[in-house]
Chain A
Amino acid sequence: MNETLRNTLLFAGVAMMIVLTGVFQSWNSALVILNMGLVSAVMALGVNLQWGFAGLFNVGVMGFVALGGLATVLVSMPPVGEAWAAGGTRILAGLAIGAATITAAILAFGRMAPGRARVLVVLAILVIGFFVYRGVLDPGVEAVERTNAASTGYLGGLGLPVILSWPVGGLIAAGAAWIIGKTALGLRSDYLAIATLGIAEIVIAVLKNEDWLARGVKNVIGLPRPVPYEVDLQRSREFGDIVGGLGLDPVTASGLWVKANYGILFAIVLAIVFVLAQLALHSPWGRMMRAIRDNETAARAMGKDVTRRHLQVFVIGSAVCGLAGAMMTTLDGQLTPASYQPLRFTFLVWVMVIVGGSGSNLGAVLGGFLIWFLWVQVEPLGQLVMSALASPLPEGSALKAHLATSAAHIRLLTMGVVLLLVLRFSPRGLIPEK
């Protein structure tokens, strides 16, 4: 079987499974799976840039995805005037002081001669700066969080179109990635893993606790949409006529139409990212990246600045994850920091990349769709298996009840087993790198 045929068959297989979901469950759930599959594919492409191209091990995908989500709030929600009046400038000033403190410390460290004096000066700058920063910031934060706490209590966003937040999400994630990369790249590969694991937890902690920024665990709901609302569609005569002509129920049809619109937008983004990734892979830059991945020492001997190239690809890959995160939050229509779980947002994406085939963009896309499909469908399957296992047990037994409630955890187990099986028996994935 030649390669093109094989790949076509693999994609056709995944498409088939989604279509079957539509036929047997509902077209609504098929579209839901498809949309998240598209977003997952973008995330997988981002991770594949880092791992597949450059061999960088990023386990903080969740953090970058969440930063993308934050971007949607900051860009698209209307600004809250009262809150800005109450403490907006104070918060901005506080943040500026924080940034200035760190810059001053770095400058002092770079300019002064090594020795005890330098340590003392840097520490003094940091300590004094920290207290001034808290002193300026805290009253502002309090004032903002007090204004109308039940419905707003945060600064709001810029009130711009939500689509704009997608590239902005990428930029914010890229900024965070630059800071991490600067510290952890150039050391052992495990250190990057641990540093990214840490930054992801911190990003989530910030989202959960900084209420002035995005309302924390009170969640921001009702984000603006790039597509029409179902209710408006159902009211519109034009839409009713078209749908009526097709013999569909307007309520179902409006839901499908909205999801299809999202699907089209996401497919466009996926196509752009995929083409760019593919061009990068086959460019001299991509060849250099793979050369560095395969033999760092040799690449360094050839005069390549390995750490710099690593930083570059790490920032780009994280930006793609941030973009995907912004798309996902737009699709959800709300930002719920408590829903970011590392197993779901970091490690699942890793399973996608490994199963699809590390280093192969097509593989990452396939893995994104396939693993997302499994993730969604394993739960009902698990329920079936569990009830089959439990059926010989007497009604009302403790074990039976336990088996029924634990079906949800089958997912984790399945993902782990899938990852280990692929790594062991087909380490190059479903669509291997050429």
Chain B
Amino acid sequence: MEPINAIVALMNFVVIPATAYGAQLALGALGVTLVYGILRFSNFAHGDSMAFGAMATILFTWGLQALGISLGPIPTALLALPAGIIVTALFLLGTDRVVYRFYRRQKANPVILVIVSIGVMFIYNGVVRLIVGPGDQFFDDGARFIFTVRDFQAWTGLDEGFGLRTSQAITLITAVIVVAALFWFLNRTRTGKSMRAFSDNEDLALLSGINPERVVAVTWVIVAALATLAGVLYGLDKSFKPFTYFQLLLPIFAAAIVGGLGSPVGAIAGGFVIAFSEVTITYAWKRVLAYAMPDSLEPSNLVQLLSTDYKFAVSFMILVVVLLFRPTGLFKGKSV
């Protein structure tokens, strides 16, 4: 029995990857939940908005790389982020002006807006594939690791080790900053308060003189920023491929619903719930258990509950359980 090795292996294979993935999902789910709270529909184009934001940032990154500008050990993509966010915000605002505004004025049934968002998803998907193609794109540069498994082993002399990739550290730091800023904005500023008022009770908000178009525009800008960030961080951590962003839609929606649609705190909690369940259920526990259990009980097979190909099934199962037992989500979203 070597519990310290077990803990270190657990950190390396489960805790760190799941935390980074959870932060990415949480950022995505925040975007979905904001659109749901303010504009009152489930935005199926969100995955492809993330792809668009990531693509815009990648193009700027390539430009910077071509000019020879870099941030040293930190990926150049971070420098390109603001530009990517601005382009994505303009793109989403343009979509709102051309597409969504008409239905908002008509007070269309939310289901119609969902179908409209599917049309938008098609277009975003087509645009992204037209511009960068359907394949994998690589845009991470700088140092890959802050410290590697080997470094860790050398420091501590343990058999196991854990490494921290730059992308994982950046994901966590950025997510914390962004979430803190978002909550400060929603709770402390006048615009943020008007957004929450609008989300809670539209008629009352209108009566007290809140300009709905302004609230909607601010929402889209925030959603664009969140989507771009989530898209870029996911792309840095794994890789950028348009289709994977479409597939992220399911875990992101699951995260938003598990937390309670419309509730920002819920979106963050949901993101981590989904990420940790996905990683723990699809991880082969043999290595950790071998250290954690007495030698006589060492498992002979991989102890993997589900193969990694079924990771979407995990978000789905959690979604089903939440829908059956607590349809409003952990943090009492507004949906019934």
Contacts and interface: CB of A to CB of B under 8 A. Distances in A.
A5 B134 CA distance: 44
Interface in A150-207: 183-184, 187-191, 193-195, 197-199, 201-202, 205
A416 B307 contact: no
A55 interface: yes
Given A191-B323, A409-B134, A342 B114 contact: no
Given A55-B111, A343-B122, A417-B123, A406 B249 contact: no
A413 B116 contact: no
A412 interface: yes
B120 A416 contact: yes
A410 B127 CA distance: 8
B115 A411 contact: no
B111 A205 contact: no
Interface in B222-256: 246-247, 249-250, 253-254
A411 B94 CA distance: 22
Contacts of B247: 201
> What DSSP secondary structure best describes chain B's contact surface?
helix
Nearest to A184: B323
A51 to B, nearest CB: 9
A211 to B, nearest CB: 11
Interface string A33-55: 00000000000000000000001
B310 A419 contact: no
> What DSSP secondary structure best describes chain A's contact surface?
helix
Given A189-B110, A198-B319, A406 B133 contact: yes
Interface residues of A, number: 43
Contacts of B307: 209
A354 interface: yes
Contacts of B250: 194, 197-198, 201
Contacts of B125: 343, 412, 416
Contact of B118 (A201, A414, A419): A419
Contact of B129 (A191, A194, A350, A409): A409
A112 B267 CA distance: 33
Contacts, number: 131
A57 interface: yes
Nearest to B305: A130
B213 interface: no
Given A195-B320, A209-B309, A423 B112 contact: yes
B63 interface: no
Contacts of B44: 59, 193
A184 B310 CA distance: 21
Contacts of A252: none
A262 interface: no
Contacts of A191: 257, 323, 327, 335
Given A202-B316, A412-B122, A419-B118, A187 B336 contact: yes
Interface string A391-434: 00000000000000110011111111101100110010000000
Contacts of B320: 183-184, 195
B122 A193 contact: no
A347 interface: yes
B74 interface: no
B142 interface: no
B178 interface: no
A139 B313 CA distance: 22
A208 interface: yes
Contact of B130 (A187, A209, A347, A406): A406
B102 interface: yes
B79 interface: no
Interface string B314-326: 0110011001100
A376 B32 CA distance: 33
Contacts of A199: 316
Nearest to A197: B250
Contact of B313 (A195, A202, A354, A416): A202
Given A194-B42, A197-B249, A413 B115 contact: no
A354 B114 CA distance: 13
Interface string A58-78: 010000000000000000000
B11 interface: no
A205 B313 contact: yes
A199 B317 CA distance: 10
B3 interface: no
Most chain A beta carbons < 10 A, residue from B99, B129, B315: B129
B85 to A, nearest CB: 23
Contacts of B73: none
9 contacts: A55-B111, A190-B114, A191-B323, A197-B253, A205-B313, A208-B309, A347-B121, A410-B130, A416-B119
Interface of A: 55, 57, 59, 130, 183-184, 187-191, 193-195, 197-199, 201-202, 205, 208-209, 342-343, 347, 350, 354, 405-406, 409-417, 419-420, 423-424, 427
Q: Which 9 A-B pairs have the closest CB atoms?
A: A416-B122, A413-B126, A412-B126, A416-B123, A198-B316, A419-B119, A409-B129, A190-B42, A420-B119
